[in-house]
Amino acid sequence: MNETEIEDIVRNREWSFSELSNLRSTISNLGDEIYHEMNLMDRFSLVRDAEVYPSKTYEESMKKAVKIELTGMIAEVFTKMLQTAKIDFGGNKNEISERSVGGKSHKERPTDEEKNSKEEE
């Protein structure tokens, strides 16, 4: 697993505001997902130079080291991507028509209706 692969995972997922506002939890959960998808050789290559935790079994030490490495990599990817991110709030249903902000007047309905109704009488 490398940063490019993590970037692909992050880019291809739709993130909620809640997930992005709680990045610590999101990074941890994504790290768990990636960890479970990795095979043993990928895990080992990620942490072959990492410090071993003496009070743990080899499996526990390796898992902890992999998760620490993944957490750092994921956090770095999120940081880079969020620095240039553009937010789309899902489209604004309250759009303002062009005519109402200085566009051309509607020909069938003049802007001064009161004046026209008095002229008709």
Tell me the per-residue pLDDT of 2-56, one tens digit each, with 9 for 90 and over.
888 999 998 898 888 888 888 899 999 999 999 999 998 888 888 877 777 677 7
Read off the tokens for 21: 């506002």
Q: Which of 66, 59, 17, 72 is nearest to 37 (CA)?
A: 66
- The C-alpha atoms of residue 109 and residue 120 are separated, in whole angstroms, by 14
pLDDT per residue as tens digits for the range 62-74: 888 899 999 999 9
Mean pLDDT to the nearest integer, 64-87: 88
